[in-house]
Amino acid sequence: MTLGPVMVDLCGTELSAEEREVLRHPLVGGVILFSRNYESPAQLTSLTQAIHALRQPPLLIGVDHEGGRVQRFREGFTRIPPMRRLGEIWDRHPQQARKLSHQVGYVLAAELRACGVDFSFTPVLDLEYGASQVIGDRAFHRTPQAIAELAHHLMLGLKEAGMAAVGKHFPGHGFVAADSHLAIPVDERDLADIRLFDLEPFRQMIHYGLPAMMPAHVIYPQVDDKPAGFSKVWLKNMLRGELGFDGVIFSDDLSMEGAKAGGDVVTRGQAALDAGCDMVLVCNDPGSAKNLLDGLHWKISALSLTRLMRMHGKPHSPSLVQLHEDPHFVAAVHAIGGIGQGSGNLPLNSAHDPVAER
């Protein structure tokens, strides 16, 4: 059995019999975890082992674990600062900010890999215009060059710990105020403005070898009338063609309000795959996930499979206990421990978590 093009989620902290059957569906290729799936590092490790044991090749396991208000696992994990704190350090000491960004990426990835998670949907490459309701301090900076350099060093830290990076939200979500979880954002700027500013971090990260990308559920009507994640203009012509990106394209959550302009969930899933996505996500809506798996007809290409296989985490990661005794890891934790202690690090409560700020 190969990996399928659909990533689904789970209800609790262990697999139910019904979920095991869903994860064996040939269209399923991955699982995304949330705070509701976490109690402790030991429980998380047991869950990821159970998921990976279901199939060969193993299903991919991802999580939104950026830091700040988007950090799914907290108790037993190092608290990761919001990326904006690194941007603030950049304004005073760019070299220190680069080093800290690398250490943040390493700590973030090393702990997740120790518990069997393959990758996190990070880094955010959006510009912080001060307008977005959902991006905010998740963005590194307002300046494209600062974002590209800090994200590059975070990606190097992830790679050091055996994890691939996922840049988001192409071609940029930071300019619009609306939250695509709750509305359909529209960015009225023309392509020249987007190309000059928002696209630049994505362009540079592709040059640095970014393995994966997630497009925004934002409509840019001066370019196309479809949200970027459903647009061949954005994904095939711009991202694959002009920018030369050859990594994985993950859709954003098909259950978000910003995706619903595309019709029912099967139509949305088909449209996202037709537009160029390699894998589509359906979160916090088991009924929609079932409908998609029942109704979608899609034969995944060999090229998509090759791309997706690169997202598996590097094997032979140390246990979390071993990791927390490693001098290199301890030094990195100490280095980042003094940043990000403000309001941006308030935990997501269980009621807010299903919004899935991705």
Residue among 102, 153, 181, 312 flagged as catalytic: 181
User: What sign has the CA pseudo-torsion 87, 93, 95, 96?
Assistant: negative
What are 150's two structure tokens? 């800090």
Report the DSSP beta bridge partners of residue 332: none
Report the DSSP beta bridge partners of residue 67: 70
Residue among 137, 187, 252, 353 flagged as catalytic: 252
In the residue annotation, 252 being an active-site residue is answered as yes
Please give the helix or strand (H or E) that residue 306 lies within, else none: helix 302-309
- The string of DSSP codes covering 54-94 is TSSSPPEEEE-EEETTEES--TTSPPPPPHHHHHHHHHH-H
- At 246, the amino acid letter reads D
Of 240, 177, 4, 122, give the one whose Cα is nearest residue 231.
240
- The string of DSSP codes covering 85-138 is HHHHHHHH-HHHHHHHHHHHHHHHHHHHHHTT--EE---B-----S--SSSGGG
In the residue annotation, 181 being an active-site residue is answered as yes
What are 149's two structure tokens? 């350099």
Distance CA 332, CA 323 (A): 11
Question: Any idea which residues carry the catalytic annotation?
Answer: 181, 252
